Each structure stands twice: as C-alpha cells, then as structure tokens.
A and B are shown apart, each in its own frame.
Chain A
Amino acid sequence: MIEVKSVVKTFDGFAALDGASITVPDGGVYGLVGPNGAGKSTIIRHLTGIYRPDSGEILVEGAPVYENPEKKALIAAIPDDWFYFQSATIRDMMKFYRGFYPAFDMARYEKFRDVFALSEKTPIRRMSKGMQKQAAFWLTMSCRPKYLILDEPVDGLDPVMRRQVWSLMMSDVSEHGTTVLVSSHNLRELEDVCDHVGIMNRGKVLLERSLTDLQENIVKIQAVWKPGEVPVLPRELEVLHSSNVGRVYTYIVRGTAQTVTEKMGQFGPLMLEALPLSLEEIFIYELGGEHYAVKEILL
C-alpha cells in the first residue's frame, strides 16, 4: 500500500503540496486527477523518491520511500518527461535498467519486442514522442514493478497503442496484483480503468474515494416542473450546479440517486429522472466549488 500523509512541499515559498494525503490500496488502479498545477506531478516525484517532503510522510508498505532502495526497487515510474541517455538505444537502456532493478524480467522484455515493434538499435532520441513513450513502457514493465506509477502515460500514443498499453497494465493488475497509480487528464480513459480516484487542487487532495462511491454519491437530475411552479430547492439538497433548457431543468446534486429522487419528488415534478455522472462531469462539478468552474466566456 502507498500512503501519502499530510505532505507539504514548497518551492521558493510556493506550496506545491499543502498537506496532501492519499492512500493507494494494493492491487488496484488509482487515478490522480486535478487541474494543471494541482500538484499531481509533485506528489508522483515524492512517491518515486525524487523529492524529499518538507513535512509529512510518503510510505510504501509502511516504510518511507525516500533513500530506501529496498522500497524503490518495488516501484517503476514513467514520468511525463521520461529521460534516456543522449545516444542510448532501447537495448542500452534495457542494460541500464537491468543493472538496477532486481526483478527485471528479460523474458518479458523479449516478449514485448513483438508487442511494441520498435527497433532496439535506433537511438531513442530519433524516435517520435509516441514511440519514446512505447519504449518507456517496454522498459518499465520489464522491471516487473509491484507499484507502477505513471504520469500522463498514454499521452502521445495512438488509439491502438493506448488500448494495448492499458490492456497490458490491466493484465498485470489482475494476474500479478500490480498496483497502478496513474495521473492523467484523460478522464474518460481513467473512468474505464480506475477503481479509486483522488481529486487534487492547489496542493491539496479534495476527495478520495472508490470510483463507485464517487459515482453513487453524486447524481444528475433532470426535472420538468409545471409552468410557473419551479420550486426553490432546500439547502439540505446539496445542489452543486443547476441549469435549464426550456422547461427541462438539470441539477447536479450530492447524494445517492434514490435519496435525491425521493426528496425532489416531494415538489411535484411533471417528470424526474436520475442519471449517473461521468468522471469528467464529477471532476468539473467538484472543482466548480473550488473556483475552478468552466468560465463561459464569449470571444
């Protein structure tokens, strides 16, 4: 299990992490989402042992990860800006990784040669961004990490390769119990793979739940009221957002579909329907209260 406890990290007075806490359970896929500058990459750099927190704890299996080779050997990461040596080929980098990661699986590396179809002898710097990303996956997954940490992992990959990569990761999760922490802006993709989600903003984790909990605790209600009888909803109904198109009113309300439907039914709507929210919608409406609403600007 990965635990981040009240971590603070400041850069020249700016708090990139301001008491952030997350808990990543073993054997699942944890999606870390948040707007640009929320602190996702900073928390990932802490998890991989690059940064040392100003205060707080970063624990992997109960032990601090910073300067702990034993725990770092369990982790492999693909950062957004993956580094390779200037003239290195995939094979060169494979030899490098193999010298550090005790669990590096050469047989797996050989198998991945067919999956990724990249030349092992071409310098990585000559490859396209997407090919470099594939190379990063090839090498990282050959390390057979127990914890796989990914920052914008499929950015730059074509749709087929995206699906391929996700498929490989999910098979690792199901077959080997790999724990994946993934940070991405592609919420539609995360929704398909994540079982836990943490939403970050301004260095803090706003909420952290299983995706099921999250989706069950926020609901989209579409209602049609009698003409001239649009009710003022009570405060106990935690409405995050409301809008209307003609007589059709849409409400985003915190609560289970059943509870919210029951309460709103008391106002006598002509029609009332509860719809599930996508992760993207949850993200947008949750952050709306954090001064991060989509601004309707006409240019």
Chain B
Amino acid sequence: MSWEVSTMPSKRSFFNATLFKKHLSRFWPLWGGVSLVGALFPLYLLLALIQRTAGVIEGDIFREGLYQISACFVPAFTFAYAILCVMAVWGYLYNARSVGLMHTLPVDRTCLFLTNTLAALAMALIPFAVTGGLLCLIALGWGFFDLVAVLNTVLAVLFCTLLFIGLATLCAMLTGHTFVLPVFYLLFNFLAFLMEILTTSLAHEFLIGVPMMEGTGRLSFLSPIVKIYNSFSVYIERPARGVSIIRLQGLWVVALYALAGLALLALSWLLYKRQHSESAGDVVAFRWLRPIFRYGVALLSALTIGRLLYELMWRPLFQRGDHAQALPMAVCLFLGGLIGYYAASMLLAKSRRVFGKKSLPGVGIVAVGAAALCLLVSVDVFGLERNIPEPDEIASVSLVDRGIESGPYSIADDPDQASALLALHRAIVDDRAYIRSYVPDWDQEEGKAFSHYLYLTYRLKDGSTLRREYDLWLTRGRVETAGTYDSMLAAFYQDPVVRLSDVTIPKGAELDSIDIFCAYGGGGSIYTNTADHAEGDDRETRQIYAALQKDGAEGNIPAKDVLCRSNAAREFYLDLRYFTLNRDADSFYYHSKTVYLAPSMTNTIEALIELGYVTVEYVERWKEELAEQETTGTEIYGDVVYAETSTVPAG
C-alpha cells in the first residue's frame, strides 16, 4: 500500500464532527442533568393543567411568564451555566497531556476553536430547547401559545448565551489553569463595578460629599450581568380590565451585548491562534498579560486589604476627625498592595520563592502606585468634591435632610428651587475646608450646633445620576450669616413651595392612610390609623389630607427650624402612608411622610377634632405647653430620625 493512496490531501476544514460529538458525549451529564431539571417545570404545568389546578391560562399569562423567565432567570442562569460549558470544552488547555493530544491532531486551531465553541453553545442551548420545546407543545395543546412571546424569548436566550459563552471563552484563552478560569470570569463580570465602588469608597475617606459605596454607573456597561439586570425587564401595563400590554424592555441592550459576545469570540479565536501549548498550568497564558495580572492583583489588594488594615489599625486608634489621613492611608495601601503583589508573583511563578532582589523593582512600583493613588484621591485631582452639575445638565434634583426629618423634595420642574439647591450645593463645596475641620465642642456649643445629613441626588439629562451626601453641622451664628450653607438651608425651608411639599405626597403616589400620634399632656398616648378607625373607608383619610393641603395653601405650615428648637411639636404629628407602583406596575412600595403639627395648622387640627381623633381639651393643653416652652426658650438637640421610610410589601 502506498502512502499516496492512503493520505490524500484533505481540504481545509472548519468543523470536526468527531470532536463535536465527543464533547457532547463526554459531558452529557452536564447538559442532560440541566435539561432534566428544566423539563420538570413544563411537566409540572402539564400535570397542573390535567388536574385543573393551574386555573385558566391565557395568552397574556403565558407571555408574561415567558418574559419574566427571560428577564429574571435567563441572564442569571446563562451567566452561571455558560462558564461550565466553556470549562468542559476548553478543559484540555489546562493539562499538558491533553493539550498535547489535541494539538497533535491533524486539524488547525481555527477548526478546533469553531468546533469547541459550537459544542459549548450547543451544550448551553440544549436545556433551553428541551424546556422551551415542551412548554410550547403544552401551550399549543391547551391553546395559549403566543408566537411573538416565544420568538422574543428565543432571542433573549440566544443573546444571553452568546454574550456569556463569548466572555467565558475569552477568559478560557487568557488562563492556563482550570481554577483560575471561573475567577477571571467573575472578575470580568464585576470588575468595573467593583473598582468603581472601591475607588469611590476611597475617595469618600478623603473628600466631603462623595458617597461611601456608590459609583456613577458610567462604567456599569463593563459589568454585563449588572447592566443587563438594570436594563432588561418586563413592562406590564393594564390600562383597562382584561387589557394588558406586556413587552420586554431593554432587549436591544442584550442584543448589543450579544454582538459584544461575538466580538469576544473573535478576539478569543485570535488569542487561541497565538496561545502557546506550554502555557497549560499557568495562571495567565500570555507573557504580556503577566504584569497586568501582577499589578492588577496588587491594586485590588491595596483597595481591599489595604483599606481593611487602615480600618483596623489606624482609624480606631489614631485618626482624628472623620476624614482619613493621607500618609497612614498610603502606607496601608502599600502594605495591602504588597500582599497582592507577592501573591500574584507566587501564582505566576508557581513557587513561593519570589522574595528575592529581583522583586524589589516591583515593590517600588507598588509603593509609588500606592502613594500616587492616595495623593490623587486626597487632593481631588478628578474634581469629585467640586463636581456640581450645570443647571442645563440637570433633569431633576432632590434633597433629603435626615437631620430635621425633611424631604424628599423633588423639584424637577421648579427652576427657582433648583437654583436654590445648586446655590446651597456650591456654598457647601466652597465651605469644604470649614466642614472638614469643624468638630463640635460640646462644652462650648451644647445646644448651639445641630447635625444635618443632606442627600442631594441629581438626575442628569444624559441618564446618569450624581449623588452627594453631606454630614453638616449648622450653628446659630452661621445661620444668621448670609452666604453660608447654614443660612441657605434655612432660607430653603422658608420657601412656601417647600413648606407645602412638607405635607404633600409625591406626584404619582397613592395615599393609603394616615397615622395620628398624640402623646402630649400625660393623659396617655393616642395612636390611630384612619383606615382602622373608619373600618376601611378612606373618607377620613381624604378629609385630613385635604385639610393639610388647605393649611399649605393658606401658608399655615411653619418653616422647618434648622436649629430644631421646637421639641414639643414632636408629640403631635401625622404619618402620611402612601404607596408607589414600581416601573413594571406589578408591585408597589409603601412609604411614609411625617408631618409635625403646629398651632398655625388650624384646618388640620379642626379636621382631627371633627373626626374624633383628638379632643379640644388635648389641643388646648398642647398649645399652652408650646407657648410656655417658647417663653422659657426650651431647646432640644437635633437628633437623627429618618423622615422617609420605604417598605416593600411581601409578595
């Protein structure tokens, strides 16, 4: 037999059926098991339909169910399952023996890549095909099949699968170690989000106003699973009985991510063609990636372990004031970074002998990096502290003052108030040196300095959000000095519109009931809910709220006292309970707003007396005591009570 006969030159192949089948046959317990679990749901539905316990299922319910699965379950499931499929098909890269066999085979890497990727996609999609196929059969059999919903769901599944298979494949190319692959995958999904949180948190230690654990959201697109859950949802509207508008919102976002997934697959293919087989067992598969890995781990370690060191070893023992000290922080970041640097070096070298002289330049880089990071953040190079949006950038702004139980004030469409808040914000920023240095002296200032915790939230026209939080002390002297933030906040509360909004529930909210508290006079506390009192009739709720609004319109609502001098008022107040629907209109959130009564609010007090919640005698004694307190000048300290509370009803 001659060789010319038996080894005919073969055409170039992009797919190898043997390898594809081998993958599927080797890992059938994975996709088979998941398919089996998935098939239980249609089976349950089938049994429920046969037993007539599922009720009547119509097209709308089927569509809503499919969409809820698409938006809530599919992204999370594909995120978790894709990495298993990719680990299965690319597992040979992480073992010198197996990579030897696969790369000896007479196929090129393009063929291996395409075959492996198709096998991973097949393994990822088979469970959906099984579950979805059974569901569709049942839907067809019982007459509630909805083709549009099915097609949309198929698209959502395909898009999510492409994205996460692409991302996981890229991670598989970058490492040569099985255990590192899922770590890379998690990092790639959450790194941008995590880094933004960590750097903002560091900035919070040095700068006033920067929230502790909140990013701008501008980099959230780099964390696909986070962005998908923020953008992809089910929209349900029920304009009339029996009429439902149900659609998937944000499917285009997932489609864009699917395109990104394809781009990642292309990048993975290029990387695979360049990958050396001898990288099997290495933490990172490419030489150029090593410094990125080494210093990336050092940075992460500095921002986590370094911060922990500061919180444990410096803040409770040596720090003065609320703001961090740059030098100790830099030292702690350096120590944290050093731990990460050597840990990464050990992983890269697969040895614990990494502490030699050769590592000293790297240690120097970590030290310089820690110092530079601390310096950049502490002197606010990026202007986070001074960042005040321009008026034409703002879509809406709201203020919550936890100090004197005020807000939220949403002033989307009131330019005067927006200007007032911007002026207040500027005054706070201008006074930042004072704020940073001010520490109340309780011996000298007892009863003269009052704490306010302000939350300013700007919704900007570009869709982003800017949040600032200020822990401020207000003093009488500065309240009386024009141009200080103290005086501007006091002036803000004097605005009639703000005073009216103190007794008004937000636009779009539904008033549920009103709690009435009257603990004045020593005759025992009164607590009544209008819904309980009127046994479900909301007439009384409406009457009290109308009286409040009337008081607001007549200018009877007193301005908030930023120095919190009227403690007696606390003993007579109302809690307005209201709810808002979430954006899908399928669940609602309860909130409450506290309104402290003042003698000037005559309409409200009369309504309460008329409805029998309080007696004339109670009100008279309350007024007398208030007058007496005003005369004697009794004051209390501004304690922190949450004015705005939100609850989510069960179910």
Contacts and interface: CB of A to CB of B under 8 A. Distances in A.
Contact of B18 (A45, A68, A96): A96
Given A69-B12, A83-B100, A101 B106 contact: yes
A50 B107 contact: no
Q: What 5 pairs across the A-B complex have the smallest Cβ distances?
A: A99-B18, A73-B106, A72-B106, A83-B97, A103-B6
Given A74-B7, A83-B98, A51 B104 contact: no
Interface in A227-286: none
Interface in B6-20: 6-10, 12-13, 16-19
8 contacts: A50-B99, A69-B10, A74-B7, A75-B104, A77-B104, A79-B100, A81-B96, A85-B22
A234 to B, nearest CB: 49
Contacts of A95: 18
Contacts, number: 91
In the complex, which of the residues B7, B18, B107 has the most CB atoms of chain A within 10 Å of its own CB atom? B7
B7 A102 contact: yes
Interface in B569-619: none
A51 B276 contact: yes
Nearest to A87: B26
B101 interface: yes
A237 B406 CA distance: 107
Given A50-B277, A96-B18, A98-B18, A45 B100 contact: yes
Given A96-B22, A100-B16, A81 B97 contact: yes
Contacts of B18: 95-96, 98-100
B3 interface: yes
Interface string B98-122: 1111011111110100000000000
A34 interface: no
A102 B8 contact: yes
B537 interface: no
Given A75-B104, A82-B101, A103-B6, 11 more contacts: A50-B104, A68-B108, A69-B107, A70-B9, A70-B106, A73-B106, A81-B96, A83-B97, A83-B101, A100-B18, A102-B7
A147 B3 CA distance: 11
Contact of B106 (A45, A51, A100): A100
Nearest to A45: B100
B7 A99 contact: no
A105 B6 contact: yes
B104 A69 contact: no
A74 to B, nearest CB: 6
B583 to A, nearest CB: 50
A99 B107 CA distance: 11
Nearest to A98: B18
Interface in A205-233: none
Contacts of A100: 16, 18-19, 105-107
A45 B13 CA distance: 23
Interface string B75-101: 000000000000000000001111111
- Say which size band chain A's interface belongs to: 35 or more
Nearest to B277: A50
A48 B277 CA distance: 12
Interface of B: 1, 3, 6-10, 12-13, 16-19, 22, 26, 95-101, 103-109, 111, 273, 276-278
Contact of B100 (A67, A81, A96, A101): A81
Nearest to B13: A69
Interface in A33-84: 45, 48-52, 67-70, 72-75, 77, 79, 81-83
B105 A72 contact: yes
A11 B278 contact: yes
A196 interface: no
A177 interface: yes
A50 B103 contact: yes
A50 B6 contact: no
Contacts of A101: 106
Contacts of B3: 74, 103, 146, 176-177
Contacts of A176: 1, 3
Nearest to A86: B26
Contacts of A98: 18
A70 B11 CA distance: 8
A85 B88 CA distance: 12
A54 B458 CA distance: 57
B487 to A, nearest CB: 68
Contact of A103 (B7, B12, B111, B276): B7
A144 interface: yes
A72 B104 contact: yes
Contacts of A48: 100, 103-104
Contacts of A11: 278
Interface in A101-141: 101-103, 105
B109 A67 contact: yes
Nearest to B110: A67
Contacts of B101: 82-83
A15 to B, nearest CB: 14
Contacts of A68: 108
Nearest to A103: B6
B12 to A, nearest CB: 7
A196 to B, nearest CB: 20
Given A50-B103, A50-B277, A99 B16 contact: yes
B345 to A, nearest CB: 13
A176 B99 CA distance: 30
A107 B109 CA distance: 30
A122 B16 CA distance: 26
In the complex, which of the residues A49, A77, A82, A98 has the most CB atoms of chain B within 10 Å of its own CB atom? A49
Contacts of A87: 26
Nearest to B18: A99
B108 A67 contact: yes
Contacts of A177: 3
Nearest to A178: B3
Given A85-B26, A146-B7, A99 B19 contact: yes
Contacts of B95: 83
Nearest to B98: A83
A50 B280 CA distance: 12
B426 to A, nearest CB: 58
Nearest to B102: A83
B4 to A, nearest CB: 10
A50 B100 contact: yes
B527 to A, nearest CB: 69
A82 B98 CA distance: 8
Contacts of B9: 70
B347 to A, nearest CB: 14
Contact of B278 (A49, A51, A74, A96): A51
Nearest to A81: B97
Contacts of A72: 104-107
A49 B104 contact: yes
B620 to A, nearest CB: 88
A67 B274 CA distance: 11
Contacts of A85: 22, 26
A2 to B, nearest CB: 14
